[in-house]
Structure 1
Amino acid sequence: MADDQDKDSKTEEPTERKLRRAREKGEVPSSREVGNVTAVLSLFAIAAFVMPGVSAPLAGVLRGVFETAGQFTVGEDVQGMRDIGGVTWGVMRGVGILLAPLLILMLLGAVAGVVLQGDIVMAIERIRPKPEKLSPLAGFKKIFSVPALVEFVKSMLKVLTVGTIGIWITYHGVRDIWQVQGLLPEMLTEFARRTASRMLLVVLVLLVAVAVADVLWKRFEYRRNQRMSLQEVKDEHKDTEGDPQIRVRRMQLRRERARQRIATAVPRATVVLTNPTHFAVALKYESGVDLAPVCVAKGADLLAARIRELAREAEVPIIENKPLARALHDVAEVDKQIPVQHWEAVAAIIGYVMDMQRNIKRPLPEGSSLREED
């Protein structure tokens, strides 16, 4: 009951962080049916392309058994009679040697099914010993859970369906072949290959349909199991972004520090460039000391207004140059020299300011204007 209530409260889609952490734990949507399909595909390819080459050796093994069918004894070889146990072992060994590579191909097909789903995840969490995994009660709950029951019913339906198809195809094939007189080993192996191919084709179509449905269901079930409650989403947001109140407080502290810094930096500036209201950049240049103008403060909107206010109070010239002010605001760093591409334009403005302070009249650089009041 508690589990049902917990699931009902999880109404939010999982976040990328939740899915990533689940994958790190080895929890990924995986369908066994895809592996079954690729394994049967391997068998189908074997029956269609490999078995014709194996049929002759198999027929040779069977021919040897048929030709000496009346010469078997039980126990040991006596007076030309062969021990049936030894013959059986020889047949099984020969067939095993021929079919071993085919079984390996089938195993590789099953592995390919896992690879196609992108489900190869090396997660230590999955193999780490946990006390709850050793609990008999937890084991019984898992065995008799709804997912386990669904898997059992699905497996039984597949076995019954595939078994029925196999019996039907084999019955009709045997009925046809017994009508032929003088049955040869080659005919028997060809019959086995043809029957296996037909059976695998029908089973393959069935398993593909089951695999498609199972993949869709597994992915839906995985997303549903990874859902989060509204409180979990809020908690995760706090973990990643921080508490909203703390973030607001940090922003306030940053703005306060910026205001304190510009309060001491702007009065030392040589000139303040504006655009005229949105951006403001305070520059300092001392001949013989600075290699290039240095940005001592910059800001936008309210901070720009504060820079202009401080400049007026300290009688620092305010020059309006829209493109230059915006460009410097974007690229200049506080307490560092301005980028070299702006040296020439800024040098012309600073030269005008220095001449103005020496009462030398000269025109402002093109695109600039002197602001005496806001």
Structure 2
Amino acid sequence: MQLKLDLQFFAGEKTEKATPKKREDSRKKGQVAKSQDINTAFLLLFCFLILFVFGSFMKDSLVSIYQHAFTEYIQWDVTESTVHQVFTESTIEVAKMLAPIMLIAIIAGLAANFTQIGFLFTTEPLKFDLKKLDPIKGAKKVFSARALVELVKSLLKITFIGVITFSIIWIYKDEMMMLSFKNIDSALAFFGRVTIIMGIAAAIALLFLAVFDYTYQRYDFEKNIKMSKQDIKDEHKNMEGDPLIKSKIKEKQRQMATRRMMSEVPTADVVITNPTHFAIAIKYDEETASAPYVVAKGVDHTAFRIKEIAKANDVITVENRPLARALYDAIEIGDVIPEEFYQAVAEILAYVYRMENKV
């Protein structure tokens, strides 16, 4: 009894790698190995690069908005139409200014996801599930190994980015102290340059950490989708079909094939028997085939049914034991008679035609 329980335990232990079907099912549910840090790193890196390229354009656009506001808008009367015009024009200018960043952010997000998991669109994670509101499962997640890993990862990110930004500020501290002696354009250019340097350096550091995070996410994903030996057996059974159901389907198919075969017996020219165990119904139609062909065949009970239907429809039955056995073993329903049986079958058909006064 104890041995049986031990075997059941080990059969249910998830020790096997996931099958391709399990992976595909998990993917359809949106369960994939993905690091959110890679998305964040890509987003930061691309956004700061676009700031480096379009920074001067954005500064000029912002200055233009302020100049226009304090030279023209400030002199307008406050009415519904002027407020609407100011809001519309300002929104358009801000949209033009932010459009490059928004566009590159979308591209970076798509590129980060596509790099990790390829193209995937599913609404499965958006479906409402009461299990997600289970407080016990929520508590288990808080005190799980994954939560500990996320905590360590967050501390590493804070430490890395903090050290990098502080180091960059420390490098430029002397120049920062001298900003009071520079004009506004020089000060803005300095802060913009330092901010972009810090952003790009932080994004590269985050991307470095994201590589380790992605490795962990793949490991954790592979562990979560592992299967037990029983799971694999059940999957194969589901893919192949339950044996009982398969046998019933095959039995149904055999019955349908038998009914179709029996419906062809009345059209046969002759039924060759052995006489009790085998029955072969043969038909010769020049428009259908160049030689006689089999429309039905059977043994024992099926052979008896063929002979009954033939008798009921006045189809002549001829006893030829060796020929009936040989034809049954050599050909299938719908096949033409092989050449080695031409002579024997032709003699039987000639006999049948004479009996029916066809020749």
For residues 1-374 of structure 1, the aligned pairs below 5 Å read 9-57=13-61, 100-101=98-99, 104-105=102-103, 107-108=105-106, 109-116=108-115, 117-118=117-118, 120-124=120-124, 126-130=126-130, 132-179=131-178, 182-243=181-242, 284-287=282-285, 291-292=288-289, 293-296=292-295, 313-316=321-324, 334=333, 336=334, 352-353=343-344
Relative contact order (alpha carbons < 8 A, sep ≥ 6): 1 or 2 greater?
A: 2
Q: Equivalents in 2 of 1:62, 1:7: separation in Å?
A: 72
* Distance verdict in 2 for CA 1:245–1:51, change over 3 Å: same
SS in 2 for 1:139: helix
* Distance verdict in 2 for CA 1:297–1:214, change over 3 Å: farther
119-128 or 151-160: which moved more? 119-128
Q: State the 1:220 CA deviation.
A: 2.2
Higher helix share: 2
Q: Equivalents in 1 of 2:201, 2:104: separation in Å?
A: 18
Percent sequence identity is: 24
Q: Where does the alignment leave 5 or more consecutive residues of structure 2 unmatched?
A: 1-8, 69-90, 273-279, 298-318, 351-359
* Distance verdict in 2 for CA 1:354–1:103, change over 3 Å: closer
* Distance verdict in 2 for CA 1:7–1:166, change over 3 Å: farther
Q: State TM-score, norm by structure 1.
A: 0.58
SS in 2 for 1:11: strand
Contact 1:35–1:110, Cα closer than 8 Å, also in 2: yes
Report the equivalent of 2:306.
Answer: none
Contact 2:33–2:221, Cα closer than 8 Å, also in 1: yes
Q: Equivalents in 2 of 1:149, 1:10: separation in Å?
A: 23
Calculate the aligned-residue CA RMSD, in Å: 5.0
Contact 1:55–1:189, Cα closer than 8 Å, also in 2: no
Contact 1:13–1:223, Cα closer than 8 Å, also in 2: yes
Q: Equivalents in 2 of 1:62, 1:96: separation in Å?
A: 11
* Distance verdict in 2 for CA 1:148–1:162, change over 3 Å: same
Contact 1:63–1:185, Cα closer than 8 Å, also in 2: no
SS in 2 for 1:26: coil
Contact 1:55–1:186, Cα closer than 8 Å, also in 2: no
Letter of the 1:315 partner, please give it: L
Q: State the 1:107 CA deviation.
A: 4.0
Q: Equivalents in 2 of 1:8, 1:201: separation in Å?
A: 49
Letter of the 2:15 partner, please give it: T
Q: Deviations over 1:95-137 (max 9, x none)?
A: 977864355246423354234433744234643130x433333
Contact 1:12–1:229, Cα closer than 8 Å, also in 2: yes
Q: State the 1:162 CA deviation.
A: 0.8
Contact 1:39–1:107, Cα closer than 8 Å, also in 2: yes
Q: Name the count of aligned residue pairs.
A: 287
